[in-house]
């Protein structure tokens, strides 16, 4: 599965009569299975309202750099990095100049400066502005910075002139975006390799209304699956009831309990490699109750008898159909490296990514992760990275392990 399906596009709309076409582009991206987060410059709001594009996108359009609520929730850096592609459409002459110079005086320009995501621009301006030496210099600079340029088209312009400068049609921009994602997938270094990824928490039922679980959001597992898919791997994603949206372009198996996760993983074999990111509950009820547990008249709380769940990672590492590379995580709140090294040995996996999940680390449910990779050749601390980056870095390591 390729194209836009499951991809998240940050759509920056700058000022210009073509801004109304951003609505059509939003609709087309969604129809193709992608999601859109719009950002409008102040000038853009003169042409389209944040309400119209935000409603269409299903995500409130953002306009202000110092929107404190937004900043607290996600922050502009994370905003720019969580996207699979940033599209600036229309891109005005002024915005191109700002991008080429690296200005950051509003949310739109700050986002493009702070990102490491690829950027595509669809310029739209008067023909003389497009042909002006300054714009030519700016576009040449942006191209050499790796920015993709779509259009502009030649034709009658809103200002009554004729020539190049009209924004490429939304359909053409959509095709350029699709081609971009297709080309990326085709260059993948994990093409031809099959992976099983476990993710999210498991849920162990006590009775029909209560369960034992944990706070795993599934963000790290999802980010890893996305990175593997982007590198062309065939991924079977086995996930517990996690909050994170599911990755696109792979087989998804939804499970609830550790027993179900274990069975799904075994079913997915053989595979070339496995990454166990799930926060599997270690215990389940020895006997789940069919009916809701009732309070006793004297108020004595019930005793919950637990039994051990299978260790899915250990089962994979020691099983008959062992993948050639088995990777686990170690969630620790103390003695990170020593505990993780012990886990690598006892479970029999090849690599362990040790992460600190103590409350002050912010890892559980948070956007960043700081891990130590333990392999047969030792410990390699990684800097604190967005979970998406941990995914890409791991995918690159796996590719080099397989000699890609």
C-alpha 387/C-alpha 237 separation (Å) is 17
Which residue, 138 or 239, is less far from ligand CTP as judged by CB?
239
Which member of 159, 250, 276, 349 is catalytic?
A: 159
C-alpha 184/C-alpha 29 separation (Å) is 18
- Tokens representing residue 5 in the block: 């399906």
Which residue, 228 or 280, is less far from ligand CTP as judged by CB?
280
Q: What's the half-sphere exposure (Cβ side, CA atoms, 13 Å) at 256?
A: 7
Cβ 312 to ligand CTP shortest distance, Å: 3
C-alpha 20/C-alpha 107 separation (Å) is 20
Which residue, 169 or 350, is less far from ligand CTP as judged by CB?
350
Cβ 344 to ligand CTP shortest distance, Å: 10
Alpha helix ranges (H) inside 202-311 = 219-230, 258-268
Q: Determine phi and psi for 182, rounding to 5 degrees.
A: -60, -45
Cβ 48 to ligand CTP shortest distance, Å: 45
Distance of CA 57 to the CA centre of its chain: 18
C-alpha 103/C-alpha 110 separation (Å) is 7
Q: Which residues bind ligand CTP (CB under 6 A)?
A: 198, 258, 276, 278, 280, 282, 309, 311-313, 328-331, 343
Which residue, 180 or 343, is less far from ligand CTP as judged by CB?
343
Closest-CA residue to 9 (of 98, 84, 113): 84
C-alpha 308/C-alpha 321 separation (Å) is 23
Residue 250 · residue 237 · CB < 8 Å: yes
Residues found in the chain: 404
Which residue, 206 or 314, is less far from ligand CTP as judged by CB?
314
Beta bridge partners of 332: 356
Asked about 349 being catalytic, the answer comes back as no
Cβ 125 to ligand CTP shortest distance, Å: 52
Cβ 114 to ligand CTP shortest distance, Å: 32
C-alpha 25/C-alpha 9 separation (Å) is 11
Which residue, 264 or 331, is less far from ligand CTP as judged by CB?
331
Q: What is the DSSP string of 322-366?
A: --SEEEEEEEESSSHHHHHHHHHHHHT-SEEEEEE-SGGG--TTS
Q: Over the range 26-41, which residues count as b (16 or more CB within 10 Å of their CB) and which as e?
A: bebbbebebbbbbbbb
Cβ 208 to ligand CTP shortest distance, Å: 23
Helix (H, G, I), strand (E, B) or coil at 388: helix
Cβ 249 to ligand CTP shortest distance, Å: 22
DSSP state, residue 200: S
- Tokens representing residue 322 in the block: 């062992």
Which residue, 31 or 324, is less far from ligand CTP as judged by CB?
324
Q: At what angle do helices 133-144 and 93-101 cross, to 10 degrees?
A: 50
Closest-CA residue to 205 (of 113, 141, 269, 290): 290
C-alpha 311/C-alpha 319 separation (Å) is 12
Which residue, 24 or 282, is less far from ligand CTP as judged by CB?
282
Cβ 311 to ligand CTP shortest distance, Å: 4
Give catalytic residue positions: 159
């Amino acid at each position: 599965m390729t194209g836009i399906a499951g991809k998240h596009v940050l759509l920056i709309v700058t000022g210009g009569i073509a801004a109304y076409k951003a609505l059509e582009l939003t609709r087309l991206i969604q129809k193709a299975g992608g999601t859109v987060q719009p950002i409008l410059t102040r000038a853009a709001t003169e042409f389209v309202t944040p309400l119209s594009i935000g409603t269409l996108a299903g995500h409130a359009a953002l306009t202000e750099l110092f929107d404190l609520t937004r900043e607290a929730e996600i922050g502009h850096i994370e905003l720019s990095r969580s996207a699979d592609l940033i599209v600036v459409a229309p891109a005005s002459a002024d915005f191109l100049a700002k991008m080429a110079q690296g200005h950051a005086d509003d949310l739109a320009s700050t986002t493009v400066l702070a990102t490491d995501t690829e950027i595509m621009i669809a310029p739209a301006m008067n023909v003389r502005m497009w042909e002006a030496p300054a714009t030519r210099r700016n576009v040449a600079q942006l191209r050499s910075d790796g920015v993709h340029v779509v259009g502009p088209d030649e034709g009658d312009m809103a200002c009554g002139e004729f020539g190049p400068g009209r924004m490429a049609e939304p359909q053409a921009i959509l095709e350029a975006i699709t081609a971009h994602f297709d080309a990326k997938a085709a260059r993948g270094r994990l093409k031809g390799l099959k992976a099983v990824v476990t993710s999210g928490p498991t849920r162990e039922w006590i009775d029909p209304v209560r369960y034992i679980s944990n706070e795993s959001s599934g963000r790290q597992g999802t980010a890893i699956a996305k990175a593997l898919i982007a590198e062309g791997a065939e991924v079977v994603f086995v996930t517990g009831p996690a909050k994170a949206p599911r990755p696109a372009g792979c087989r998804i198996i939804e499970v609830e309990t550790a027993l179900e996760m274990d069975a799904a993983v075994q079913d997915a074999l053989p595979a070339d490699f496995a990454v166990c990111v799930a926060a599997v509950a270690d215990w389940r009820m020895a006997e789940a109750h069919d009916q809701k547990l009732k309070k006793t008249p004297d108020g004595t709380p019930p005793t919950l008898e637990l039994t051990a769940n299978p260790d899915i990672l250990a089962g994979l590492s020691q099983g008959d159909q062992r993948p050639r590379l088995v990777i686990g995580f170690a969630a620790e709140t103390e003695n990170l490296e020593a505990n993780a090294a012990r886990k690598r040995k006892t479970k029999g996996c090849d690599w362990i990514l040790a992460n600190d999940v103590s409350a002050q680390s912010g890892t559980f449910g948070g956007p960043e992760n700081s891990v130590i990779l333990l392999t047969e050749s030792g410990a390699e601390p990684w800097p604190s990275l967005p979970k998406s980056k941990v995914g890409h870095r791991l995918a690159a390591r796996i590719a080099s392990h397989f000699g890609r």
